[in-house]
Amino acid sequence: MNVHDSISQMIVQTRDVSLPHFAAELIICGTIVINLLVRMVRPLRWLDSSFLVLAGSLAALFAVRPWEMGSDVARIELFSGMLVHDGFGVLMRTLLLVFVVLFVIFTWLSGIPDKDDGPDIHTLVLGATLGMMLMCTANHLLMVFMSVEMASVPSYALAGLLKGRRQSSEAALKYSIYGAGTAGVMLYGISLISGLLNAVHLPTLAQNLVEKLPTMGPEETMVLALGGMMLAVGLAFKLSAVPFHFWCPDVFEGATAEVNAFLSVASKTAALALLVRVALGFGTTVPTMFSVAASTVPAATVPEGALATSLYSVADDASPNIAPANPAANAEFHEASARRVLSPVRGFIAKLIAFLAIITCTFGNLAAFGQTNIKRLFAYSTIAHAGYMMMAVPAILAAAGAGPNGHEVARQGAAALGVYLGVYLAMNLGAFAIIAFLRNAMRSEEIADYAGLIRRSPIVTICFVIILFSLVGLPPLAGFFGKFAVFSALSGAYNVTGQAQLPANYLVWLLVAGGLNTVISLFYYLRVVKVMTWNLEPRDQRPLQPIGLLRGAYVCLITLPTLGWILCFDLLANWCAKGAISLL
């Protein structure tokens, strides 16, 4: 094949496959540009950038096409394997964009940023969102690094949103220094891994790993593990997992509640999606990919062009781009043997994440006890919730190695993550919206100042109480369903690994840790509830301006799913389950 052919093929590929699936990201890019340029045009200056951004993110949400979920969303690699388009990506990007839409409405209501700052702040928000969307679909170690940075850099600026406020600047500085440090470590890890495995494209990397792992010496294994752990540092920073969480409470205290909502939900969603991508990327092989390169058929018999295309676009199992010489007989056998070879890799990654999840969850819950500032309390709460969500990842990995039934359970695990995130989105956005509105109304973010709030602002308080109990995970509130989904992923994986004679006993520890943490988390959420409902207002209470009808309505609306998911939980669960189909 000559150069001309491959270039033209690439163009066709980009035009027909990659760009249509990249529409949502392009719309976000377009919105950023318009948002920046609109101020140059005098007649359009009156336009509030919130509306523009709202329209842009709605259009992007539309372009992701979440309603087409199901087996229709096949796994397709975009831009020569840089990104991957599949149900999981659609699921996560939908959650992300739904959040951004609600978030923009929230910021418009809360009045931060004001009209002058609006375009700048919204540009940063959209820029970070773009990075996060790429994190959800990254399929290439370079893309992993780039997307993490794209998401992080605007976040640093967002943390310093309140210009001239010492705490805010401190938060931004801390965040960026921490971020830069971990980014360096992650990049180092990526270079170690890519150097060792001669690949940066995740499926190729897994396939090379399958070939090299049996003959790898102890030094090489060590370097590989080191590289993996360094990569994990970068992800753990984005997840605010212990011990890379130190930035989180300070940043949350210094930044505004609006930014906190963004960092706690959007950033976590993307980071978890990326964690799943990277973990599965290392721990499993893409079936068709594998049967092409590692089948017993000599490479020469496969047409060269076909091999090349297979790197660009790997279709799902049902309709492989090229047919291997003897597909049915060998595919399963090779997949099984690849699964066996990668078993220690999966075990290593799963145990590493399980360990991080347990300490993150426990530390977050314990540290939240002593907090007096509501934003700081919520910083630790988000750390703890990141821990719960991370628990789903070891379950996915462990189940992925346990045969066809195991794959089913692994998909359920990925779906559980989606369910948790969907529920968490509403809960945390609601919580931070209330914190922001109360800040506007009483100029305070101290828990003590919330004393007796039920008598002064009953509706908002009741919504807050519902959200807090939901965060504990009490049925019939939505938080329970998130926890239920993750815990059931753990027990499902425990079961299926036991049936497959590959017991993963750390899953029981995760389950126990999750249960105990639920109990200990009760204390600090209950403390806030107690202050708001039981305690009497202090003599010198702060004046409370009315919250406002529109804001009250927003709070009620955002609390409604927390209360109502019990009736239509199956919608979310089913949609997430469909989203996870093409993941494995």
Partner 1 sequence: MLTNAIWYSILVFAPSLVALLLSVVTTRNDNFYRYVTLATTLFTLVCTLFLFLMPNGVVGFNSNVGEMQGIFTLGWIPTFEIFYSMGVDGISLPLVLLTAVVSVLAMGASWSITKYVKGYCVLFLLLLSGMLGVFLAQDFFLFYVFWEVMLLPMYFLIGIWGGPRREYAAIKFFLYTLAGSVAMLVAILMLYFYSDLTDPRLRGFLNSAVGQSVIPDKQLRARIESGMAKREALAESLKDKSLEERRKILAAAETITPVHTFSILALQQIGQHTSQFDTFGVNEDGSDRLILGHGLQWWAFVLLFIGFAIKVPSVPVHTWLPDAHVEAPTPISMILAGVLLKMGGYGIIRICYPICPAGGYELAAVICGVGVVSMVYGAFAALAQKDFKRMVAYSSVSHMGYVVLGLGVWSATAEMNFDTTFWNMGIQGAMFQMIAHGISSTGMFFMVGVVYDRVHHRNLDEFGGLFGRMPVYTALSIGIFFAGLGLPGLCGFIGEAFVVFSVWAYSITMAVISAAVVILTAGYILWAIQRVYLGAEYRGPHEDHLSPSNTRENTIGIIIFALAIICGVFPRHTLLGYMEKSVEKHVGDLRAWTINSTRATWAQEDRRLQVSAIEANASDQELSAQLANKRP
Footprint of partner 1 (CB under 8 A)? 332-334, 336-337, 339-340, 402-406, 408, 469, 474-476, 480, 484, 487-488, 490-492, 494-503, 508, 511-512, 515-516, 518-519, 522-523, 526, 530, 533-534, 566, 569-570, 573-574, 577
The residue (of 262 and 575) whose beta carbon lies closer to partner 1 is 575
- The stretches of 138-267 forming alpha helices (DSSP H) are 141-159, 166-197, 202-212, 218-239, 247-254, 257-261
We find the least distance from the C-beta atom of residue 572 to partner 1, in angstroms, to be 9
We find the least distance from the C-beta atom of residue 138 to partner 1, in angstroms, to be 28
Q: Are 532 and 438 in contact (CB under 8 A)?
A: no
We find the least distance from the C-beta atom of residue 577 to partner 1, in angstroms, to be 6
We find the least distance from the C-beta atom of residue 107 to partner 1, in angstroms, to be 31
Name the nearest CA neighbour of 289 among 84, 579, 17: 84
The CA-based angle 484-485-491, given to 5 degrees, is: 85
The residue (of 6 and 326) whose beta carbon lies closer to partner 1 is 326
3-state helix, strand, coil in the chain (%, to 5): 80, 0, 20
Per the document, the length of the chain is: 584
Q: How far is CA 93 from the centre of its chain?
A: 9
CA distance 137 to 213: 26
The CA-based angle 261-264-266, given to 5 degrees, is: 85
The residue (of 210 and 425) whose beta carbon lies closer to partner 1 is 210
We find the least distance from the C-beta atom of residue 464 to partner 1, in angstroms, to be 14
Q: What are residue 145's phi and psi, to 5 degrees?
A: -65, -50
We find the least distance from the C-beta atom of residue 74 to partner 1, in angstroms, to be 22
Q: Are 479 and 471 in contact (CB under 8 A)?
A: yes
We find the least distance from the C-beta atom of residue 20 to partner 1, in angstroms, to be 30
Collapsing DSSP states into helix, strand and coil, what is residue 83?
strand
The residue (of 332 and 446) whose beta carbon lies closer to partner 1 is 332
CA distance 581 to 413: 11
The residue (of 230 and 502) whose beta carbon lies closer to partner 1 is 502
Name the nearest CA neighbour of 147 among 133, 163, 166, 162: 133
We find the least distance from the C-beta atom of residue 529 to partner 1, in angstroms, to be 9
CA distance 127 to 481: 32
The residue (of 503 and 552) whose beta carbon lies closer to partner 1 is 503
We find the least distance from the C-beta atom of residue 331 to partner 1, in angstroms, to be 12
Report which residue type is found at 331: A
CA distance 300 to 350: 37
The residue (of 256 and 488) whose beta carbon lies closer to partner 1 is 488
The residue (of 58 and 520) whose beta carbon lies closer to partner 1 is 520
Q: Is 137 exposed, middle or buried (0-12, 13-18, 19+ CB in 10 A)?
A: buried
Tell me the sheet residues that pair with 76.
85
We find the least distance from the C-beta atom of residue 536 to partner 1, in angstroms, to be 12
The residue (of 95 and 496) whose beta carbon lies closer to partner 1 is 496
The residue (of 13 and 288) whose beta carbon lies closer to partner 1 is 288
Name the nearest CA neighbour of 155 among 136, 171, 139: 171
Kindly state the DSSP code that residue 536 receives in the 8-state scheme: P
Kindly state the DSSP code that residue 323 receives in the 8-state scheme: -
The residue (of 244 and 450) whose beta carbon lies closer to partner 1 is 450
Q: Are 294 and 334 in contact (CB under 8 A)?
A: yes
- Sign for the pseudo-dihedral over CA of 199, 203, 208, 210: positive
Tell me how far CA of residue 108 lies from CA of 55, 157, 166, in angstroms: 13, 19, 25
Element (H, E) at 84: strand 83-85
Token pair belonging to 16: 């027909």
Q: Are 234 and 361 in contact (CB under 8 A)?
A: no
Q: Are 504 and 350 in contact (CB under 8 A)?
A: yes
We find the least distance from the C-beta atom of residue 254 to partner 1, in angstroms, to be 32
We find the least distance from the C-beta atom of residue 299 to partner 1, in angstroms, to be 16
The residue (of 181 and 498) whose beta carbon lies closer to partner 1 is 498
The residue (of 103 and 481) whose beta carbon lies closer to partner 1 is 481
